[in-house]
Amino acid sequence: MLRIALFLGTNMAILLILSITMSLFGIEGVLQDNGVDLNLNSLLIISALIGFTGSFISLLMSKWLAKKTMGVEIIKNPKNETEIWLLQTIKDISSNAKINTPEFGIFNSQQMNAFATGASKNSSLVALSTALINHMNRDEIEAVIAHEIAHIKNGDMVTMTLIQGIINTFVIFFSRIIGHFVDRVIFKVQRGHGPAYYITSIIAQILLSILASIIVMWFSRKREYAADLSASKLVGSNKMISALKTLSTKSQQNLPDQMAAFGISGKREKNYRSLFSSHPSIESRIESILMNG
Q: What whole-number distance in Å separates Cα of residue 9 and Cα of residue 11? A: 5
Of 103, 148, 283, 287, catalytic: 148
Q: What whole-number distance in Å separates Cα of residue 25 and Cα of residue 17? A: 12
Q: What whole-number distance in Å separates Cα of residue 146 and Cα of residue 154? A: 12
Distances (CA, A) of 286 to 36, 105, 140, 278: 57, 27, 14, 16
Contact 23, 129 (CB under 8 A): no
| 73 counts as catalytic | no
Q: What are the residues whose beta carbons fall under 8 Å from the beta carbon of 281, sequence distance 6 or more?
A: 266, 267, 268, 269
Neighbours of 272 (CB within 10 A): 9
**CA end-to-end distance (rounded Å), the chain:** 29
Which amino acids are annotated catalytic?
148
